[in-house]
Amino acid sequence: MTDSIPPALVCRDITVRFGDFVALSDVNLSFERGCIHAVVGQNGAGKTTFARVAAGLIRPDAGAVAIDGQPMPLGKVREARRLGVELVHQSFALPPSFSIAEAMEFGAERFGPVFSARGLVNRWRSHLEALDIDVDPRKSIRDLPVETQQSVEIARAMVSDASILILDEPTAVLSPTGAEALFERVRRLKKNGVTVILVLHKIREVLAVADTVSVLRGGRLVAATQPMASLSASAIADMIVGGTSANDDDANALVGAERPRHASAATTGATAAILQLDGVSTLADGEGPPLDDVSLELRPGEIVGVAGVEGNGQKTLVRVIAGLAGLGRGGIELAGIDVSAADLAERRRLGLSIIPFERNSEGLSLNSSLWENWSIRSLLSGRLLRPIRPGALREQSDAALKRWDVRYRSSEQRAGSLSGGNAQKLIFAREVHDGARLIIAAQPTRGLDIGATAFVWQALRDARDRGAAVLLISSDLDELFDISDRLVVMLSGRIVADYRPPYALGAVGAAMTGAEA
């Protein structure tokens, strides 16, 4: 019946290998014109690889791609763009020093090759207006809030009037209201005849916006462009997870199916606070917005979640607790001791542990061995010229890594050779120990697959049950709602709201964007 109109995008038998790892295996997908298609799956299921193959960024080892019935040369971005395929990346991909107008121009072929400063702005003002993006084209990319930056990315993708727009995990950095605005934009693009392919990992979002859904798991296709009408949320969830052993609330949180009710109530009594931030303000330092009069108290046996759109001071919060950001006003107490002027080593001695934002650059030394990465905890707290016994440290680290179920060949292997989940387990093995009374977990599950994510959640809960306080910073509200005993919201370097379960998505989302008075 659709013989006369070929599908917008057809992928046939796509296989992509990275070394021994098979990222995509014989994937066959076909997307009809003028619809919103969702592609879902866990982290590591191959969604991003699929998007990059379709956009010509990755050349598959086998298979073929056709656009509107025309074969697309593989692995050639220029050809893919000429045929009308554009991709908006998960982590934004525009040069931060460029102005918006420059970011539009550098990938466009709409106008002449030479321009004046004013002419460049005029070229792109109407383009932005046509897409309802209200922003000054002279502004620098780096100065834009994330939600505007994403709109600009979409505008960049539309410079040559793309007919197929692929968005890779576009909601990962957005607040719930931001996501709703994005979906509205996507629906308008659909109305203008654009075929939109959304790579998502939350079922709630799929239900909200998509016409069809395709599910990938472990690089294989589980469901191909099924109309949404024929599927229930739980059926999609089963296809994504493929039967893991996590409990029901966790399973729902993992796939963003429905709001989990909160499992355990906080057991906070009259115990003394482990961490007390008292009206803390930091000095501006160009690494994010400074903190502005932040007060926060953590008691033993509670997990406090920090919600917020990324870039609203969460990194500064972690750095000031670690003693790495200049303290302007206010005081910090750890276990009842004023540490406002203490260095990180002193704070760690008092029981501070940090699972940092960037596990590959801040959490591990990728070129050092596993045992070196593990034992740095004890090495840093000792005297500088104390001799060390590598043999003993290797044995201790072997025992610890076994206990944490890290999969590795030898404790001499480089930390950089571990997978994301195992690397995070190594960090947990180092940071989460009996002496850890305050655990800062910054985006601890980002990029991990479902099994590793469930493991991390369990480890944080165990630490809480043992009496540690946990500060969990995350941009995944499902994660926060599932495991936090208490939730605060950060906006522009301030804590603007404080919630206890049961959490209401609407209220938290509004607080994240400042919509709440």
Partner 1 sequence: MNDLVVAILRSGTPLVYVTLAGVVAQRAGIWHLGLEGVMIIGAASTIIGIVLTGSLGLALIAAVVLCVLASVLLWFTIEKLKANPIIAGLGLTGLGVGGTTLASQSIFGSQASITAPFGLPRLGEAFGPFASLSVLVAAMPFVVALLWVLLRRTRFGLQLAASGEHPFAARGAGVEPARMRLFALAFGGVLAAAGGAELAAGSLQIFAQNMTAGRGFMAFAAVVFGVSHPIGAAFAAMFFSLVGALGIRAQLVFGDAVPHDLLLALPYIATVFGVWLSGRLRGGAASSAFGELRDY
Residues that bind partner 1 (CB under 8 A): 55-57, 76-78, 80-81, 87, 89, 91, 93-98, 102, 105-108, 113-117, 286
CB of 148 to partner 1, least distance (A): 17
CB of 108 to partner 1, least distance (A): 8
SS (H, E, C) 173-238: CCCHHHHHHHHHHHHHHHHCCCEEEEEECCHHHHHHHCCEEEEEECCEEEEEEEEHHHCCHHHHHH
Q: Which is nearer to partner 1, 115 or 496 (CB)?
A: 115
Q: Which is nearer to partner 1, 103 or 477 (CB)?
A: 103
Burial class, 50, CB count within 10 angstroms (exposed 0-12 / middle 13-18 / buried 19+): buried
Which residues have CB under 8 Å from 144's CB, separation 6+?
A: 100, 135, 152
CB of 327 to partner 1, least distance (A): 20
Q: Which is nearer to partner 1, 93 or 379 (CB)?
A: 93
DSSP state of 361: I
**Cross-strand partners of 473:** 306, 442
Q: C-alpha dihedral over 203, 204, 209, 212, to 10 degrees?
A: 30
Q: Which is nearer to partner 1, 159 or 468 (CB)?
A: 159
Residue type for position 92? F
Q: Which is nearer to partner 1, 67 or 393 (CB)?
A: 67
Q: Which is nearer to partner 1, 35 or 144 (CB)?
A: 144
| b/e per residue 470-493 (b: at least 16 CB within 10 A) | bbbbbbbbbbbbbbbbbbbbbbbb
Alpha-carbon 392 to chain mean position? 37
SS (H, E, C) 473-495: ECCCHHHHHHHCCEEEEEECCEE
CB of 73 to partner 1, least distance (A): 12
Q: Which is nearer to partner 1, 153 or 485 (CB)?
A: 153
CB of 113 to partner 1, least distance (A): 5
CB of 349 to partner 1, least distance (A): 31
CB of 215 to partner 1, least distance (A): 26
